[in-house]
Amino acid sequence: MSKQQATMTDEPAAAAQPETRSRHGHHREDPYAWLRDPQWREAMRDPQKLDATIRDYLNAENAWTEQALAPVAKLQKDLVAELRGRIREDDSSVPQRDGPWFYYSRFRDGGQHALICRRQGEDGDEQILLDGDAEAEGHDYFQLGAVGHTVDHHYLAYAVDCSGAEIHEIRVRDLETGEDLADHMTGVHGDFDWAADSRTLFYTTLDEEHRPREVRRHVLGTDPADDPLVYREPDPGFFLGVGLCASERFLLIESHDHTTSETRVIPADQPDAEPRLLAARQRDVEYEVEEHDGRWLIRTNLDGAEDYCIMQTPLGASGHAQWRTLVPHRPGCLLRGMLVYRDWLVRLELEDGQPRIVIRRFSDGQEHSIGFDEPCFSLGVIPGLEYATDTLRFTYSSLTTPGQVFDYDMASRTRVLRKQQEVPSGHDPSQYVARRLHALAPDGEDIPISLFYRADMPPSAETPLLLYGYGAYGISSMPSFSPHRLSLVDRGFVFAIAHVRGGLERGYRWYRQGRLTDKPNTFGDFIACAEHLIQTGYTGKGRISMHGGSAGGMLVGAVLNQRPDLFRAAVADVPFVDVLNTMLDPELPLTPPEWPEWGNPLEDEHAYQTILSYSPYDNVVAQDYPHLLVTAGVSDPRVTYWEPAKWVARLRALRTNDNLLLLQTNMSAGHGGASGRFDYLEEVARRFAFLLWVNGKGGD
C-alpha cells in the first residue's frame, strides 16, 4: 500500500529551520526545534494558548491522519462497537470494608467515568459519594485521581485533573450534606492522605517545573493559601509523595528518584509535629517502610541486597545502623513489594518472570505461598482498608484468562472468588494458546517472550504478529488479560510481549542491564525477540508490527532506525524519542529525576555519546521505514508534544519510501490520551484499524 493510494492530498511538511546545538565539542543540527513552543508551560496547562503556527501544523497532521485512514473508517467504527461489546457497562469493583462501611466504585450504563459509592453494611442502601460523569460535564478532559475518606467517614477528599497536564485540584466533600466545602487546593500533584483527627489533610504541590517538591498541611475551614509548608525537597531530581502507613499510625513523606529514596514520618495523631527522618538518602539505596507493633519494617536493597530484602528496626531508631534482617535477600528472586497487616506479612515476589504471593504469620514466622500453573500470568495484591484482618484480596489474570479477584483467608488458606471479569460478547479461554519462549540476545542472555494466539489459527511465516515492548524504569510488562487484544487475535494475529532488559521480569539485574550505558541492550533484546519469532515460524520477516508507548515508544524508534527491514508497521504512543535534547534541558519537568535512568549528558560526555548513539530523533537516516502511526498530547508533561512531532517531521524528510507516516495529536489531553473509558476505545480502534489495514486485513 502506498500513501498515494491512501490519500488524496499531499502530506504536511514541517519547515526546516536548523538550529545548531553543541556540547562536549560535538555539534548537531536540529531542524525542527521551532516546534517547541517557547510558552509550552502555559500551553500544557491550557492547550488553547499553543502558538498558532504550531497549532496549525499539528491540526494539519491530524487532518492528514484522518484522511489517510478514511478507507478504514467503517472498520474503526465496527471495532469501537466490538471493543465496547467486551466491556460490562455497569461494572463495579468488589466492595472494601472499613468498619461499618463498604466502599466501592461502579459505572452506570453508558457512563464514561466512575461513581464512588458506599453502603452501611453489605446490604445497606447505596450512597453515591461522587458522580464522575456529573463532575466531568463541561470539560473536554476529566480524570478523577486519588479519592480518600476520613477516619470518621465524615469527609471525602478527591483530586481531579481537567486538562490532562496532571495538574490536580483537591476538593473536599461533606458526606452528610453531599456538598463540597470551600477548601480547594489547586496546582497540586494529586496524592494526599488524612491525619487521625479527620480534619487535617497532607498533600504535595507542584513547583514551576511541574515537579512535586513540597508537602503542605491543610486544616478544614482554613484558607488553602495559608497552608503551612511541612517539608520541601531541596534536590530538583527528587520527587515527593505522601501517604499513610497500613497501621494508620504514621504519615509517610517519601523522597525518591529512580534509584534512591528516603522517608520522613509524622505521627498521624500529631499532625503539627515536625517530620522525622528515618535514614538519610544514600546513593542507589532504596527503602520503603511500614509500621508494625512498635517497629519499622523496611523493604530495601541496602548492603548489596540487589533484589531486596525486608529489615526491621525500632521506631525511634535513626539511620541504618540498627536495621536487622527479617526476610533475607535471595539473588534472582525479586521482592517486588510488601503488605503489612496486624498478624501477617505479605510479600509479592517475582522469579524468572513468574510471580507469587508469600504469606508469613508474625506470631511464629511460618510461611506459605500462593501460585498458579499457567505459563504466562499476572498476579497482584489489593491493600484493602482494614489492618486487623485475616483476609488478603488479590488479583489474577493471564493472556487467556480474564481478570479474577479473590479473597484469601490467610489463616485457613482458603480462597473465595469475589469477581470474574465479564466479557459480555463472549470469551472461551480454551480457544486460545499462551506460550513462553526465550530468544538469545547478542550477549548471550535469554530474553523471555510471552505469546498469545488462537488455537485454530496456528502461526506460520505468513502470520501477522504484534510485538509489544517497554523495558525502562524497572517496570515489568506482565502477561495479563486484555479483552481489546481479541480484536487482533481473532483476526489471525499473534500477540507477543518481549520482556526486554530495563524491566524487572528477571530481577533487579534485568533492570540494571537496561539503563544508563547498558540501555542499548533493550533494543538488541527486542530485535533478538523479533528474529527468534521469525526463525521459529511464528511469523515472517516483514510481517511483524511493533507497539510501545512513552519509553516503549523510544524502544520503537530506536529499533526502527536499526532494523526497519524486520517490520511491516509500528505504533508509537506518546513516544520519548527526542532523548538527547530532553536530557540536556534541566527545565523540563522530568529531566533531573531521569538522569539516574538515562545518564546526565550535561555533565558526562560518555552519557552524551551513549544517548546520542540511540536517540531516535537523532538517528533517523535516509532509508525505508515501515508504516508508522504516532500519537501525542498537547497537555503531556511527561513526553512533551514536540518530541513525536519533531520525529515525524524528520522521518518524513529523510525516509526513502512512501509507506504511511501518521501523527495524531490529542489537542485537549496529555500522556494517557482520552480520559473517558469509551473515548479511549476510539484510540484503541484507530490503532487496530491501522494495523489490520497495513497487514491486509481490513479497509475499503
pLDDT in tens, 294-343: 999 999 999 999 999 999 999 999 999 999 999 999 999 999 999 999 99
CA–CA separation, 33 vs 24, rounded Å? 20
> Which is catalytic among the residues 261, 550, 635, 675?
550
Q: Assess whether pLDDT exceeds 70 at residue 130.
A: yes
Q: Which of 572, 685, 516, 499 is nearest to 80 (CA)?
A: 685
In the predicted model, is pLDDT for residue 59 greater than 70?
A: yes
Identify the pLDDT of residue 700: 62
Q: Is 481 left (phi over 0), alpha (psi -120 to 50) or beta?
A: beta
Cβ atoms of 220 and 181 within 8 Å: the answer is yes
Residue of 427, 484, 547, 671 marked catalytic: 671
Q: How many whole angstroms separate alpha carbon 136 and alpha carbon 148?
A: 19
pLDDT tens-digit readout, 332-347: 999 999 999 999 999 9
Percent of the chain at pLDDT > 90 equals 95
Starting at the edge strand found earlier in the chain, the sheet holding 377-382 runs 377-382, 391-398, 404-409, 414-420
Beta strands in 386-511 (DSSP E): 391-398, 404-409, 414-420, 432-440, 446-454, 465-468, 494-498
The residue from 30, 183, 191, 636 that is catalytic is 636
Query: For the residues 43-63, what does the mean pLDDT come to?
Result: 96
pLDDT tier, 503 (very low <50, low <70, confident <90, very high otherwise): very high
Question: Whole-angstrom Cα distance, residue 678 to residue 484?
Answer: 12
* Residue pair 291/282 in contact by the 8 Å Cβ criterion: no
Residue 48 burial (C-beta neighbours within 10 Å; 0-12, 13-18, 19+): exposed
Residue 200 to residue 230: CA distance in whole angstroms: 12
Each residue of 229-284: pLDDT tens digit?
A: 999 999 999 999 999 999 999 999 999 999 999 999 999 999 999 999 999 999 99
Residue pair 685/651 in contact (Cβ under 8 Å)? The answer is no
Kindly tell me if the per-residue pLDDT of 173 is higher than 70. Answer: yes
Given a cut of 90, whether residue 28 has pLDDT beyond it is yes
Q: pLDDT band at residue 699, thresholds of 50, 70 and 90?
A: low
Distance, in Å, from the CA atom of 131 to the CA atom of 64, rounded to the nearest integer, reads 37
376 against 583, higher pLDDT: 583
Grid cell, residue 239, equals: 520527587
Beta bridge partners of 277: 264
Q: How far apart are CA 523 and CA 512, in angstroms?
A: 14
Give the Cα separation of 164 and 158 in Å (integer): 16
Residue 352 has what pLDDT? 83
Helices (H), 403-463: none
Residues 147, 115: Cα–Cα separation, whole Å: 11
Residue 337's nearest CA partner among 386, 297, 390, 304 is 297
- CA-to-CA distance for 479 and 495, rounded, in angstroms? 11
Q: Which three cell numbers stand for residue 662?
A: 501518521
3-state DSSP: the chain helix, strand, coil percent, rounded to 5?
A: 25, 35, 40
pLDDT at site 49: 95
pTM of the model: 0.96
Q: How many residues does the chain have?
A: 700
pLDDT band at 372 (very low <50, low <70, confident <90, very high): confident
Is the pLDDT confidence value at 217 over 60? yes
User: DSSP labels for 533-555?
Assistant: HHHTTSS-TT-EEEEEETHHHHH
Mean pLDDT score of the chain: 96
Strand segments, DSSP code E, in 7-63 are 19-23, 26-30
Radius of gyration of the chain (CA): 25
pLDDT confidence of residue 522? 98
Predicted local distance difference test score (pLDDT) of residue 9: 62
Confidence of residue 3 (pLDDT cuts 50, 70, 90): very low
Give the separation between CA 417 and CA 408, rounded to whole angstroms.
9
For the stretch 644-674, pLDDT in tens is: 999 999 999 999 999 999 999 999 888 888 8
CB 218 within 8 A of CB 225: no
Does 24 participate in catalysis according to the annotation?
A: no
Locus of grid cell 506482565: 478
pLDDT score for 2: 38
* Average pLDDT over every residue of 684-692: 98
Q: State residue 152 phi and psi, 5-degree precision.
A: -90, 5
550 is catalytic: yes
Confidence (pLDDT) at 680: 94
| Residue-level pLDDT at 471 | 98
Q: Supply the pLDDT for residue 531.
A: 98
Amino acid in the structure at residue 676: G
Does the active-site annotation cover 668? no
* Residue of 475, 527, 529, 526 lying closest to 502 (CA atoms): 475
For position 627, what pLDDT does the model report? 98
pLDDT of residue 373: 82
C-alpha cell recorded at residue 304: 548489596
For the record, the C-alpha cell of 396 comes out as 489474577
Report residue 375's pLDDT band, with 50, 70 and 90 as the boundaries.
Answer: confident
Strand arrangement of the beta sheet that strand 494-498 belongs to: 432-440, 446-454, 494-498, 465-468, 544-549, 567-573, 627-633, 661-666
Q: Distance between CA 571 and CA 547 in Å, rounded?
A: 5
DSSP class of residue 644? H
Residue 7 has pLDDT above 60, yes or no: no
Summarised one tens digit per residue, pLDDT across range 589-629 is: 999 999 999 999 999 999 999 999 999 999 999 999 999 99
Strands (E), 422-573: 432-440, 446-454, 465-468, 494-498, 544-549, 567-573
Q: What is the pLDDT of residue 353?
A: 85
